C-alpha cells in the first residue's frame, strides 16, 4: 500500500506562510463551496463520509456536529484541539507548522456547519513555532476576507482566536481543554453532558483534533464518496502514523486506514535501527498497547485493532528493538502518568502513584520472581479498577500498556529473559 | 513594559487568564510571576488571588520562583528516554554545573525537564527558549550551550567596559 496523503497533502510542498500558495493548491475552495450549501448539507456530507475523530477516541465527527447543530442554545463555539502531548505523537505539529491553512479551513467549515461565530484554536504552550504559523495564517485569512464580518458577501461572520496552554498533558482531553480555555485549572468535568451539548461557557461546543479538521476541506471539496474509496468500511479515509523509537527513518507517514503494521514499520520507516529484530511496538502512544511481533500483520484501523484488544489512539507507533528493557520503558510511561494526573479524582491520583511505585519496586528487585508476579497481578487489578472508576481518560489509560505488557511479555518482569 | 501596560492589552475576562499570565511571565527578565503579578491579575479579572495562584500552580510552564534568562527544557518522554534522553540530561547537568530545576549561578540558564515536546521523530530533543533542537548528541549539546552563552559574554564585556569608563 503506497502512502496516501490528505492531512499531509501540502506539508513540505507549499510555503506554509503564504496563503496564495495554499489557495493555488485548491485551498479554501471547500469553504467557498460550503458557503453555497446549507449547514445541514455540510453536516450530512461529513456524516456520509464516515470521518472519525483522529485525536484518539475515534468518535464519528458528523455525529458530534449534528448534536451541536440540533441544540437550540446560542451562541455555539468550535474549538480546534492542538494540545498534542501524547508521547510518540507529533502529527499535529507537522500540520500546524507546514500547512496551517488546511486546519484553519477545517475550523471555518465546522463553524459554518453549526452556525458558530467564534472559534478557538487551543495550541499547547510549548508549541512556539506552530502557534506563530497559525497566528500568521489567521491574520492572512482575515486580510483575504475569509474571516471577519460578512465573509465573501455571504452574510456569515466568524472570528478565530488562538488560546495557549501552559504545559499540561491532561488539557488534551476535551473537557479539561474547555476548562483551561475558560481560564481555570484543567480539571475534567463529569460526562454527560458532552461538550457538543454543554461545552465552553456551558454552550454547545465542537472540539475536534487538528488532523480531523484538516480532512474536512478535502471531504467538502471532493465529496464524501471520494473519501469513502479510501480506508475500510467502518474507518474510511487516511491516518497519519507517527513512527519513532528504534526505526531507521522515524517520522510521520500518512496511509489509508487498514494498512498493516508491518508495512508501516518495515516499508515506510525503513525497518529496525542497527539491524536488530523487533521486540515490540507500542501502538497509540503512552496510553496505547504493546503489540507482540506475532501480531505485526494486523490492520491499523479502529475496529480491527479493537477486536484484538489493541487501540489505535493517536496513531503513534513507538518501536522497541531487541534488547530494550520493557520494565524500564513501562516505568517511564507510568512516571509520565503520575506526573500528569491532575488529582481531581481519587482512583487516578492515588492509583498512578501506586502503579509507578510498584513498577519501581519490580525494577529494583528484578530477580524476586514470586513477589514480582504478585505485584504484577496487583498492578493489573489496580489499573482495571482505575479504568472503571476514573473520571477522565488519563486514569483509564495505564490499563492498556500494563495489561498488554503483562499478557505478552510477562517473563521480562520476572527476571528470566 | 509596565505591568499595567501588559494587562491593558487584554479584555478583563477570565478566559484570558492564561494568556495574561504568559505575557506577564515573558515580560519578566527572570521568567517568573511575582506575587504582585498575581495580585494585579486577580484585581484586573475580578478574581481572588488564591484562584489565580491555583491556576499558576497547576500549569508547569508558570514559575513562582525566579529563573534564568534562558530556559532549557529537556524532553523526558518515554521515547526520548529510550533513545538516550537521560544521558543528555546528565551531560547537560555536568556542562552547566547544576541539577535539573536549578539556575546557573550567573542567573543565565535554568534547566527544566519537560514531559513531551512532540518531537519524537527527532529524539532526544530539547527546547531552548522558543527553539527546538532534535537528534541531540553530546557534541551538539556543547554547541547549543556555547550558542546561548556566547552573546552573554559580549554583553558582560560591554558592561565591564562601561563601568571602567565611569
Residue B98: give the domain boundaries. 70-153
What are the tens digits of pLDDT across the range A166-194? 999 999 999 999 999 999 999 999 999 99
State whether B54 and B96 are in the same domain.
no
- The reported pTM is 0.94
Task: Provide the ipTM.
Answer: 0.93
| Averaged pLDDT score across all residues of chain A | 95
State whether B75 and B27 are in the same domain.
no
**CATH of residue B144:** 3.40.30.10
* Assigned domain for B7 exists: yes
CA nearest to A323, candidates A377, A387, A287, A277:
A277
Q: Which residue of A has its CA nearest to B72?
A: A126
Q: Which residue of B has its CA nearest to A282?
A: B79
Contact, B106 vs B47, CB < 8 A? no
Q: Which of B14, B60, B114 sits opposite A182 (nearest CB)?
A: B14
Contact, B102 vs B113, CB < 8 A? no
Give the gap in angstroms from C-alpha A359 to the nearest C-alpha of chain B: 15
Give the gap in angstroms from C-alpha B161 to the nearest C-alpha of chain A: 36
Give the gap in angstroms from C-alpha A161 to the nearest C-alpha of chain B: 11
Q: Is A239 strand, coil or helix?
A: strand
* Assigned domain for B162 exists: no
Residue found under cell 486546519: A103
Choosing from B29, B58, B87, the residue where a domain stops is: B58
State whether B15 and B54 are in the same domain.
yes
Summarize the confidence of residues A27-56 as an average pLDDT: 96
State whether B12 and B78 are in the same domain.
no
Chain B residues near residue A90 by CB distance under 8 angstroms: 118-121
Tally: H helices and E strands in chain A: 17, 11
Q: Indicate yes or no: CB of B120 within 8 angstroms of CB of A244.
A: yes
* Assigned domain for B27 exists: yes
Instruction: Provide the domain count of chain B.
Output: 2
Choosing from B58, B85, B103, the residue where a domain stops is: B58
* Assigned domain for B19 exists: yes
* Assigned domain for B30 exists: yes
Contact, A110 vs A210, CB < 8 A? no
CA distance linking residue A22 with residue B109, whole number of Å: 40
* Assigned domain for B65 exists: no
C-alpha cell at A327: 520494565
* Assigned domain for B159 exists: no
State whether B106 and B132 are in the same domain.
yes
Choosing from B12, B36, B58, the residue where a domain stops is: B58
Q: Indicate yes or no: CB of A320 within 8 angstroms of CB of B77.
A: no
State whether B50 and B81 are in the same domain.
no
C-alpha cell at A160: 478565530
State whether B48 and B100 are in the same domain.
no
In DSSP notation, A130-160 reads HHHHHHHHHHHHHHTTSSBSSGGGSS--BEE
Tell me whether A75 touches chain B (CB under 8 Å). Answer: no
Chain A residues near residue B54 by CB distance under 8 angstroms: 185
> What pLDDT, on a 0 to 100 scale, did the predictor assign at position A144?
96
Q: Which of A168, A242, A339 sits opposite B58 (nearest CB)?
A: A168
Count of Cβ atoms closer than 10 Å to residue B9 Cβ:
11
State whether B88 and B20 are in the same domain.
no
State whether B86 and B11 are in the same domain.
no
State whether B52 and B83 are in the same domain.
no
* Assigned domain for B50 exists: yes
C-alpha cell at A123: 495550541
Distances (CA, A) of A312 to A41, A57, A154: 30, 9, 40
CA distance linking residue A158 with residue A147, whole number of Å: 6
CA geometry: angle at A371 spanning A365 and A373, to 5°?
A: 100
pLDDT in tens, chain B (166 residues): 889 999 999 999 999 999 999 999 999 999 999 999 999 999 999 999 999 999 999 999 999 999 999 999 999 999 999 999 999 999 999 999 999 899 999 999 999 988 889 999 999 999 999 999 999 999 999 999 998 887 655 444 444 433 333 3
C-alpha cell at A101: 491553512
State whether B92 and B136 are in the same domain.
yes
State whether B130 and B101 are in the same domain.
yes
Angle at which helices A369-389 and A346-364 pack, to 10 degrees? 160
CA nearest to B76, candidates B32, B38, B124, B33:
B124
In A234-263, the residues whose Cβ lies within 8 Å of chain B are: 242-246, 250-252
Q: Where are the alpha helices (DSSP H) in chain B?
A: 3-8, 17-27, 35-45, 49-58, 78-82, 85-96, 138-165
Amino acid at each position: 500500500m503506497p502512502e496516501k496523503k490528505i492531512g499531509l497533502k501540502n506539508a513540505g510542498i507549499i510555503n506554509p506562510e503564504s496563503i496564495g500558495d495554499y489557495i493555488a493548491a485548491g485551498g479554501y475552495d471547500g469553504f467557498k463551496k460550503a458557503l453555497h450549501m446549507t449547514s445541514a448539507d455540510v453536516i450530512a456530507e461529513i456524516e456520509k463520509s464516515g470521518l472519525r475523530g483522529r485525536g484518539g477516541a475515534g468518535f464519528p465527527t458528523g455525529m458530534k456536529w449534528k448534536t451541536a447543530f440540533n441544540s437550540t442554545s446560542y451562541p455555539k463555539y468550535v474549538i480546534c484541539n492542538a494540545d498534542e502531548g501524547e508521547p510518540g505523537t507529533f502529527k499535529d505539529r507537522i500540520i500546524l507548522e507546514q500547512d496551517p491553512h488546511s486546519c484553519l479551513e477545517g475550523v471555518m467549515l465546522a463553524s459554518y456547519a453549526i452556525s458558530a461565530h467564534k472559534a478557538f484554536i487551543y495550541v499547547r504552550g510549548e508549541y512556539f513555532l506552530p502557534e506563530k504559523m497559525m497566528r500568521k495564517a489567521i491574520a492572512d485569512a482575515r486580510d483575504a476576507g475569509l474571516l471577519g464580518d460578512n465573509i465573501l458577501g455571504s452574510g456569515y461572520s466568524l472570528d478565530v482566536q488562538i488560546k495557549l496552554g501552559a504545559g499540561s498533558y491532561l488539557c488534551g482531553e476535551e473537557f479539561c481543554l474547555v476548562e483551561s480555555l475558560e481560564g481555570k485549572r484543567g480539571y475534567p468535568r463529569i460526562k454527560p453532558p458532552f461538550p457538543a451539548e454543554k461545552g465552553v461557557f456551558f454552550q454547545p461546543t465542537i472540539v475536534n483534533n487538528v488532523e480531523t479538521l484538516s480532512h474536512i476541506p478535502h471531504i467538502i471539496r471532493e465529496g464524501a464518496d471520494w473519501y469513502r474509496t479510501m480506508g475500510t468500511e467502518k474507518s474510511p479515509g487516511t491516518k497519519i502514523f507517527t513512527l519513532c523509537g528504534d526505526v531507521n527513518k522515524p517520522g510521520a507517514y500518512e496511509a489509508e486506514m487498514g494498512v498493516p503494521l508491518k508495512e508501516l514499520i518495515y516499508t515506510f520507516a525503513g525497518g529496525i535501527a542497527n539491524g536488530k529484530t523487533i521486540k515490540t511496538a507500542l501502538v497509540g502512544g503512552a496510553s496505547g498497547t504493546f503489540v507482540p511481533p506475532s501480531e505485526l500483520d494486523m490492520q491499523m484501523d479502529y475496529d480491527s485493532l479493537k477486536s484484538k484488544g489493541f487501540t489505535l489512539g493517536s496513531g503513534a507507533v513507538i518501536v522497541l528493538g531487541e534488547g530494550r528493557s520493557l520494565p524500564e520503558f513501562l516505568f517511564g510511561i507510568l512516571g509520565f502518568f503520575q506526573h500528569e494526573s491532575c488529582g481531581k479524582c481519587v482512583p487516578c491520583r492515588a492509583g498512578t502513584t501506586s502503579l509507578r511505585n510498584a513498577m519501581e519496586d519490580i525494577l529494583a528487585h528484578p530477580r524476586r520472581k514470586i513477589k514480582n508476579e504478585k505485584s504484577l497481578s496487583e498492578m493489573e487489578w489496580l489499573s482495571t479498577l482505575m479504568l472503571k472508576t476514573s473520571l477522565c481518560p488519563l486514569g483509564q489509560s495505564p490499563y492498556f500498556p500494563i495489561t498488554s505488557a503483562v499478557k505478552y511479555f510477562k517473563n521480562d518482569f520476572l527476571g528470566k529473559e | 513594559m509596565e505591568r499595567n501596560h501588559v494587562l491593558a492589552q487584554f479584555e478583563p475576562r477570565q478566559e484570558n487568564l492564561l494568556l495574561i499570565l504568559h505575557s506577564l511571565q515573558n515580560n519578566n527578565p527572570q521568567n517568573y510571576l511575582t506575587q504582585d503579578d498575581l495580585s494585579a491579575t486577580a484585581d484586573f479579572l475580578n478574581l481572588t488571588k488564591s484562584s489565580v495562584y491555583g491556576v499558576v500552580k497547576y500549569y508547569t510552564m508558570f514559575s513562582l520562583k525566579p529563573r534564568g534568562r534562558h530556559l532549557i527544557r529537556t524532553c523526558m518522554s518515554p521515547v526520548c528516554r529510550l533513545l538516550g534522553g537521560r544521558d543528555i540530561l546528565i551531560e547537560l547537568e555536568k556542562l552547566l554545573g547544576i541539577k535539573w530545576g536549578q539556575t546557573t549561578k550567573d542567573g543565565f540558564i535554568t534547566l527544566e525537564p519537560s514531559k513531551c515536546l512532540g518531537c519524537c521523530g527527532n529524539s532526544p530533543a530539547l527546547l531552548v527558549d522558543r527553539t527546538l533542537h532534535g537528534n541531540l548528541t553530546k557534541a551538539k549539546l556543547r554547541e547549543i550551550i556555547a550558542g546561548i552563552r556566547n552573546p552573554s559574554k559580549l554583553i558582560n564585556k560591554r558592561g565591564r567596559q562601561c563601568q571602567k569608563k565611569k
